[in-house]
Amino acid sequence: MIDAAIATGDPATVKTVADLAIQTNPGDAAEIEAMRAQFLAGQERLAEAKAARKEQQLRSAGLFDNWSGKGEIGASRSTGNSSETGLTLGLTLERKGIDWRHKLTAAADYHRTDGKTTKEQFLFAYEPNYRLGDGAFTFGLAQYERDRFQGFSSRISLSGGLGYRFVDRDDMQLSVKAGPAWRRTSLIPSGHRSHLAGLAALDFDWQFAKNMKLTQTASAYVQSDNSTLASVTGLQARLNGKLSARVSYTVEHETDPPDGAVRTDTLSRFTLIYDF
């Protein structure tokens, strides 16, 4: 019976069968414990060998290896008192190594209401970070934005600093980061602003059920004139192996936006996500 349990390779099964065998055959307890210990030692050696192979694969990987990502698309259409069409696109690419992580993000939102464009927002970002150990890491961030309805044709942000991963489990991740930043904004119709700023950000993922995940990101660029605060709260449900549905709510606040632009902009999205 114990040999059959060991053949499954499942530690939980082996423990259950061994405990039952000890209860029914107490005289063989020492022999049963020895068999269980031998099995656990073998499982540990297999895990160590697997980890060593994975580390070797990461060390020998080329520049274009070990990338993963997700594509996101959402659309909306409303008619009646007003006719509105909306389109949301997103792409995230991530590469995890032994110490380095690289993340590329692209997003676009486009809306038309009664035949007029009412939202046209683009974002591109690249973030590398390097693990320092015990949850600490250092990061860099280069970001480009365009949102003419918020009064700027482009905004470039460069930042770097330190971060810490308070939680890094399969079902939950929580990290914060902060550092100095430099921002250059090209205003509409003309003019430029360049400022030193400070960046603080939070990233939280929680897989609270088998196919359900809560996500929260928040960031703040704080500077002398116009600071930018942003928050994205999302609820994601997995539909099958690679396809998920996501509902999210975004809040963006500018403390001193250009003339004619609103301070707070909100956006609700319903999108489909494909992991690859």
Instruction: Say which amino acid occupies 62.
Output: G
Res. 116: pLDDT tops 70: yes
pLDDT tens column, 96-108: 888 899 999 999 9
Which residues does 193 contact at the CB level (< 8 Å), separation at least 6? 183, 184, 185, 187, 225, 226
Mean pLDDT value of segment 166-189: 95
Beta-sheet pairing, 243-254 with 116-133: unpaired
pLDDT at 55: 65
Report the C-alpha gap between 159 and 57 in whole angstroms: 31
For residue 140, name the pLDDT band (cuts at 50, 70, 90). very high
Mean per-residue pLDDT over the chain, rounded: 89
Fold of 67-275: Porin (2.40.160)
Q: CA 123, 124, 126 angle in degrees (round to 5)?
A: 145
Return the minimum-mean-pLDDT range out of 8-12, 189-193, 232-236, 259-263.
8-12
The pLDDT assigned to 63 comes to: 64
Give the SS3 label for residue 6.
Answer: helix
What dihedral do alpha carbons 241, 242, 243, 248 form, nearest 10°? 110
Residue 82: predicted pLDDT: 62
What is the value of pTM for the model shown? 0.78
Phi/psi region, residue 32 (left: phi>0; alpha: psi -120 to 50; beta: rest), is alpha
| Average pLDDT of span 17-24 | 77
Mean pLDDT of 49-59: 69
What tokens does 192 get?
């430029």
Residue 157 is classified by DSSP as E
User: Per-domain residue ranges for the chain?
Assistant: 2-60, 67-275
